[in-house]
Structure 1
Amino acid sequence: MRSNYLFTSESVSEGHPDKVSDQISDAIVDLFLSKDPEARIACETMTTTQLVVLAGEIRGRGIMDEQGNWAPGVEDEVEQTVRETVKRIGYAQSGFHWETLRFENNLHPQSAHIAQGVDAKGNKDEGAGDQGIMFGFACDETPDLMPATLDYSHKILERMAADRHSGKAPFLEPDTKSQVTLKFEDGKPVAATAIVVSTQHKAGYDEGAKQDELHDYVKSVVAGVLPAELLGDQTVYHINPTGKFEIGGPDGDAGLTGRKIIVDTYGGAAPHGGGAFSGKDPTKVDRSAAYVTRYLAKNVVAAGLAKRCTIQVAYAIGVSQPLSLYVDTHGTGTVADETLEAALTKVAAEKLGGLTPRGIRESLGLNKPIYGRTAAYGHFGRKPDGDYFPWEKTDLADALKQAI
């Protein structure tokens, strides 16, 4: 592993068109799980100028029957949920308005051939919702055990969104992107060499005194997020480098669910598996197994067993047991990676009921409407809060140390 290097990660705000799509898809997941915790959901969203389109397959009691007939009132609830999500984000623009946008609902019943592989039946346990590989990661660069470049990128945009919603920064509009480049020496961040922020803004904030106000505001947000010792003469700012940014969100660029998977995970500092998270119920291991591998990796680092930890698992559709478990501590582990693999397998069996889809979702409480909050500013590095973000707890650290 290199010790001295530059590394960059980006984030996008809740108003980015792809993130609008993610939030709508996860709002639908929450709606259906609130009606049936065993609901099966694969909801994709496309957004563009004054249009939101839903597609995908669903199944659940009180939602839709096998013939595709909606339960009374549910179809109206779906549309209401979509419009409320867009309103909460803050889109009331002529090119994308929560109240006047066109809406298409193309959700249909889940394939019976998928259902027969996933559902438990007789002596067969619940199987994985699809084949695939999933990764979890943690490192000691921040208190949340996340890559620093991504952590700071997220927090810049969270602060700006909070200021927009509160009225503190009334010149901001919802669509914003950030990017942070850090210089590392001996594996530790020592300086921010580049900060990029592109934010949609009200009319007139692309020139003169108003532009200066916008630039000064963004720099103040950065100064409030990054440690002071990382900022200095070496830091180059690129704030709205293209100039005017009034047309944004789905009106400026179409959005799709699942197109910001690196923003959702580790900012490029670790591998990502083949699937996105948003819009999927927890039988889909693309989501649930990525959460549990983050949970395990974070506890490895929290236990002091490594400074960096990557974990991979793999599944076959309809098969309950994972096909493989792989651990890489990138030369930072206090014990051999093979020893960690054995310890993780033991602890997962004792504390989680194993790494089967059922074991993961039951032990982490994933069959609850907890996903809307994951769909912007990252699925990882968040604070556990009641039922929310249970995979961010570090309550397995002691068990892991004892299992070594």
Structure 2
Amino acid sequence: MRDGTILISESVTPGHPDKLCDRISDAAIDAFLRQDARARAIVECAVATGIVFIAARFAAEAVVDLPGLARRVIAEAGYVGEGFDARTCSILTSVSELPPADRVPHPEALDDEDEIAAWAATEQANVFGYACDETPSLMPSPIVLAHALARALDAARADLPWLGPDGKTQAGVVYRGGRPAELATVSLTVATLEGTPPQRTMERALREAVIEPALAGLEPPLGPRTEIHVNAGGPFAIGGPSRHAGLTGRKNGIDTYGEAARQSGAALSGKDPSRIDRVAAYAARHAAKCVVAAGLARRCEVHLGYVIGHARPLSIGVECFGTARVDEEEIARRLRACFDFRPAAIERRFGLRARAHAADEERGFFRPLAVYGQMGREDLAVPWESVAEAEALR
């Protein structure tokens, strides 16, 4: 990265229409897996003014009230009252139920090598995992800052009643010598409700309630040269699905690395753990993080390439952007020796079905991942953020 480059990453609050769809989709996946750990399910969602559309295709011994689940997620995001309302929005569903025989094998099959080898990828996928030493979570600095701002913005609604549920944050970081050196810009785009104060008063309130506490202790710090923008595109009244539509899987950069690295073109949310484009993205992040944690490189991208009908990825690639302390081919060799990237082996290592099956009904396992990023989530103790395997790579 050239000196002076400003990398800008964004995050959004749970009330953003795209994230609302991601949360509904993942809440449905949680519900299917809570009732049937062997379930297969794909759930996609779209929202617009007064309308929610849910498409579900599943094989499961489960009964899930998709409209009721969607209304709960919408209400939790803050949409109760004027405009888009969880209680009165129209919910349309398209449901395709597959035979129970299409469910995944019993968990005991994960102990059988022949069964693991037979559990092939059912989609083609190029997935990418990334890690760097810019932050303690080994995530890029801009996306970490953007997520911190989004969390604080949503939390501030408790004290600033004129804030709507829909919000977007951006953080722009200047890089010098390949390292984050300065926080150049902070931007908030906030939906406002009745009683919104004048612009300058609003900016001061958001700086005190959101920006300063969110960024305290993070690097690079908020400084005198940091430009702060609030609703720079003009007034943003109401917001949410009443203003702009939403769709599952449209925020891949937010879900992963904030455009600091490549990510798959496929969505993560709304898919059960049999989908290789979801679980292999976690496995690739896990591998890249362990490479950096092991001190083999300061930056690492792991690529896994899958084709339909094969269990093992046809390609395992490593790119360290000139920061490797060991030859990249040697790092790839060590990854092959230490990690099994077959779909069933990833499930055995991470235990995602068992985690979702045992998760709290209200919280779920996948639903919390649908906002504030699916990578770097050390707050959720997800297995792909563990670096216990880093020692084996040294």
- State the TM-score, normalizing by the size of structure 2: 0.90
Which residue is equivalent to 1:222?
211
Q: Give CA-to-partner distance per residue, 1:134-160, whole Å, 9 cap, x none.
A: 000001111111111111001101012
Contact kept? 2:125, 2:307, Cα under 8 Å:
yes
Contact kept? 1:134, 1:289, Cα under 8 Å:
yes
Contact kept? 1:83, 1:98, Cα under 8 Å:
yes
Which residue is equivalent to 2:278?
287
Tell me whether 1:321 sits opposite 2:307 in the alignment.
no
Q: Which range moved further: 185-194 or 152-161?
A: 185-194
Which residue is equivalent to 1:91?
79
Q: Give CA-to-partner distance per residue, 1:50-81, whole Å, 9 cap, x none.
A: 211111311112x2xxxxxxxxxx25x22221
Contact kept? 2:60, 2:103, Cα under 8 Å:
no
> Structure 1 residues 144 and 363, CA, compared in 2 at 3 Å: closer, same or farther?
same
Contact kept? 1:322, 1:356, Cα under 8 Å:
yes
Contact kept? 1:130, 1:316, Cα under 8 Å:
yes
Specify the code of the residue in structure 1 equivalent to 2:200. D
Q: Give CA-to-partner distance per residue, 1:184-215, whole Å, 9 cap, x none.
A: 1112222222111101122242x53xx33321
Question: Aligned equivalents of 1:355 and 1:274: distance in 2?
Answer: 19
Q: Give CA-to-partner distance per residue, 1:209-259, whole Å, 9 cap, x none.
A: xx3332113223222233486333321111011332222111111110001
Which residue is equivalent to 1:169?
160
Question: Aligned equivalents of 2:298 and 2:16: distance in 1?
Answer: 33
Displacement of 1:361: 1.3
- Would you say how many aligned residue pairs link Structure 1 and Structure 2? 376
Question: Aligned equivalents of 1:4 and 1:245: distance in 2?
Answer: 32
Which residue is equivalent to 2:370?
375
Contact kept? 1:53, 1:105, Cα under 8 Å:
yes
Question: Aligned equivalents of 1:293 and 1:232: distance in 2?
Answer: 35
Contact kept? 2:38, 2:104, Cα under 8 Å:
no
Which residue is equivalent to 2:43?
43
Question: Aligned equivalents of 1:347 and 1:23: distance in 2?
Answer: 33
Decide which of 123, 133, 157 is 2:126's aligned counterpart: 133
Specify the code of the residue in structure 2 equivalent to 1:366. L
Which residue is equivalent to 1:200?
191
Structure 2 counterpart SS, 1:93: coil
Decide which of 149, 174, 189 is 2:180's aligned counterpart: 189
Contact kept? 1:149, 1:181, Cα under 8 Å:
yes
Contact kept? 1:26, 1:375, Cα under 8 Å:
yes
- State the TM-score, normalizing by the size of structure 1: 0.88
Structure 1 counterpart SS, 2:168: strand
After TM superposition, which residue ranges in structure 1, 4 or more long, deviate above 4 angstroms? 114-124
Question: Aligned equivalents of 2:38 and 2:190: distance in 1?
Answer: 40
Tell me whether 1:144 sits opposite 2:137 in the alignment.
yes
Which residue is equivalent to 1:362?
348
Structure 1 counterpart SS, 2:118: coil
> Structure 1 residues 330 and 118, CA, compared in 2 at 3 Å: closer, same or farther?
farther
> Structure 1 residues 228 and 4, CA, compared in 2 at 3 Å: closer, same or farther?
closer
Question: Aligned equivalents of 1:148 and 1:188: distance in 2?
Answer: 9
Contact kept? 1:43, 1:107, Cα under 8 Å:
no
Contact kept? 1:384, 1:390, Cα under 8 Å:
no
Which residue is equivalent to 1:66?
none
Which residue is equivalent to 2:5?
5
Question: Aligned equivalents of 2:243 and 2:319: distance in 1?
Answer: 41
- Aligned-residue Cα RMSD (Å) equals 2.3
Question: Aligned equivalents of 2:4 and 2:228: distance in 1?
Answer: 22
Structure 2 counterpart SS, 1:42: strand
What stretches of structure 1 of length at least 5 have no aligned partner? 64-73, 349-353
Q: Give CA-to-partner distance per residue, 1:12-58, whole Å, 9 cap, x none.
A: 11111000000000000000000111111111101111211111311
Displacement of 1:116: 10
Which residue is equivalent to 1:26?
26
Question: Aligned equivalents of 1:391 and 1:116: distance in 2?
Answer: 24
Question: Aligned equivalents of 1:193 and 1:212: distance in 2?
Answer: 21
Structure 2 counterpart SS, 1:293: helix
Displacement of 1:3: 4.5
Decide which of 93, 96, 100 is 1:108's aligned counterpart: 96
Structure 1 counterpart SS, 2:388: coil
Specify the code of the residue in structure 1 equivalent to 2:5. Y
Specify the code of the residue in structure 2 equivalent to 1:373. P
Q: Give CA-to-partner distance per residue, 1:301-334, whole Å, 9 cap, x none.
A: 1111111000000111232111110001111011
Q: Give CA-to-partner distance per residue, 1:160-188, whole Å, 9 cap, x none.
A: 21232xx2222211100011111111122
Structure 2 counterpart SS, 1:198: strand
Structure 2 counterpart SS, 1:231: coil
Which residue is equivalent to 1:338?
329
